[in-house]
Amino acid sequence: MVISLGLCLVLMPIKPAISITQPKPSDSLHIPYFDQKIWQLDSLGCLDKRADFSETLLLNKDGMIGKRRVFIEALLGVPNRWSYDKKNAYYYMTSGIQCQENYYRNGNLVEVLTLCLTYKGDTLTDLIVFFP
């Protein structure tokens, strides 16, 4: 006598428990005369291309203040360094010690032209360019 047990799986779609709000297009960020590709290709500032955008970023500071971090990073990429409290993001804009082959990050900022973005929570509150 042979007994066959059949197994039937029913797959049901699962609804997420958390509602995810999509960013509004009005929150996106566009800066005139800013070339995002050139900025992001010079990821450590070693090509000295980012310095060309320092004035453009400062002139458009008011349009950037109040934007969420996700939109800032979509434009500028991931910062080169964060402050310990994660309130300040730093982008190197000119070449320096960070461009050396065996560069070791010791926690100190590199002394080069640097863009500093200050956040309160997830919102940009200030933009400054530090000159060495």
CATH code of the domain made up of 33-100+110-130: 3.30.1450
- β-strands 81-82, 114-120: how paired? unpaired
- For the cut 70, the answer to whether the pLDDT of residue 8 exceeds it is no
Q: Which stretches of the chain are assigned E, i.e. beta strand?
A: 81-82, 88-92, 114-120, 123-130
- β-strands 123-130, 114-120: how paired? antiparallel
- For the cut 60, the answer to whether the pLDDT of residue 72 exceeds it is yes
- Predicted local distance difference test score (pLDDT) of residue 123: 97
The amino acid at 88: N
pLDDT in tens, 86-105: 999 999 999 998 898 776 66
- For the cut 90, the answer to whether the pLDDT of residue 9 exceeds it is no
Tokens of 29: 């960020």
- Predicted local distance difference test score (pLDDT) of residue 11: 46
Neighbour-count burial of 33, counting CB atoms closer than 10 A to its CB (0-12 exposed, 13-18 middle, 19+ buried): exposed
* pTM: predicted TM-score of the whole model, two decimal places: 0.76
3-state secondary structure (DSSP) of residue 115: strand
Residue matched to tokens 């958390």 = 18
First to last CA, the chain: 88
- For the cut 80, the answer to whether the pLDDT of residue 73 exceeds it is yes
Domain range summary for the chain, segments of one domain joined by +: 33-100+110-130
The amino acid at 119: Y
